[in-house]
A = this chain, B = another copy of it.
Amino acid sequence: QGTRDHPPAHMALRDRLLAAVVACFKRHGAAAIDTPALELQETLMGKYGEDVKLIYKLQDQGGELLALRYDLTVPFARYLAMNKITNMKRYHVAKVYRRDNPATTRGRYREFYQCDFDIAGQFDPMIPDAECLKIVHEILSDLQLGDFLIKVNDRRILNGVFAICGIPESKFITACSTVDKLDKMPWEEVRSEMVGEKGLSPEAADRIGEYVQLHGGLDLIERLLQDPKLSQNKLAKEGLGDMKLLFEYLTLFGITGKISFDLSLARGLDYYTGVIFEAVLLQQENDHVEEAVSVGSVAGGGRYDGLVGMFDPKGRKVPCVGVSIGIERIFSILEQRVKASGEKVRTTETQVLVATPQKHFLAARLKLISELWDAGIKAEMLYKKDPKLLKQLQYCEDTGIPLAAIVGEQELTDGVVKLRDVATREEVRM
Q: Chain A: residues with CB nearer than 8 A to chain B?
A: 1, 3-8, 10-12, 14-15, 26-38, 56-61, 63-64, 66, 68, 79, 82-83, 89-90, 95, 97, 99, 110-111, 119, 121, 123-124, 127-128, 130, 134, 138, 249, 252-254, 347-350, 362-363, 366-367, 370, 373-374, 376-380, 383-385
Contacts of A58 in B (CB 8 A): 56-59, 68
Protomer copies: 2
Question: What is the CB-to-nearest-CB distance from A15 to chain B, in angstroms, rounded to a whole number?
Answer: 7
Q: A29 contacts B380, CB within 8 Å?
A: yes
Q: A11 contacts B31, CB within 8 Å?
A: yes
Question: What is the CB-to-nearest-CB distance from A357 to chain B, in angstroms, rounded to a whole number?
Answer: 18
Q: A11 contacts B32, CB within 8 Å?
A: yes
Which residue of B is nearest A65, CB measured? B59
Question: What is the CB-to-nearest-CB distance from A186 to chain B, in angstroms, rounded to a whole number?
Answer: 34
Q: B3 contacts A36, CB within 8 Å?
A: yes
Question: What is the CB-to-nearest-CB distance from A218 to chain B, in angstroms, rounded to a whole number?
Answer: 16
Q: Please, could you name 11 A-B residue pairs with CB atoms under 8 Å apart, sorted by A? A: A5-B36, A5-B82, A11-B33, A26-B378, A32-B347, A36-B111, A37-B37, A56-B58, A127-B366, A134-B370, A252-B363
Tell me whether A347 and B111 are in contact in the complex, defined as CB-CB below 8 angstroms, given that A56-B58, A90-B8, A134-B373 are known contacts: no
Contacts of A56 in B (CB 8 A): 38, 58-59, 61, 66
Q: How far is the CA of A284 from the CA of B304 in the complex (A)?
A: 51
Contacts of A349 in B (CB 8 A): 26
Q: A33 contacts B8, CB within 8 Å?
A: yes
Q: B61 contacts A383, CB within 8 Å?
A: no
Q: B34 contacts A384, CB within 8 Å?
A: no
Which residue of B is nearest A131, CB measured? B383
Interface centre among A10, A28, A64, A383 (most CB of B within 10 A): A383
Q: B11 contacts A34, CB within 8 Å?
A: yes
Which residue of B is nearest A88, CB measured? B8
Question: What is the CB-to-nearest-CB distance from A239 to chain B, in angstroms, rounded to a whole number?
Answer: 19
Which residue of B is nearest A367, CB measured? B252
Q: How far is the CA of A111 from the CA of B66 in the complex (A)?
A: 13
Q: A38 contacts B124, CB within 8 Å?
A: no
Question: What is the CB-to-nearest-CB distance from A358 to chain B, in angstroms, rounded to a whole number?
Answer: 16
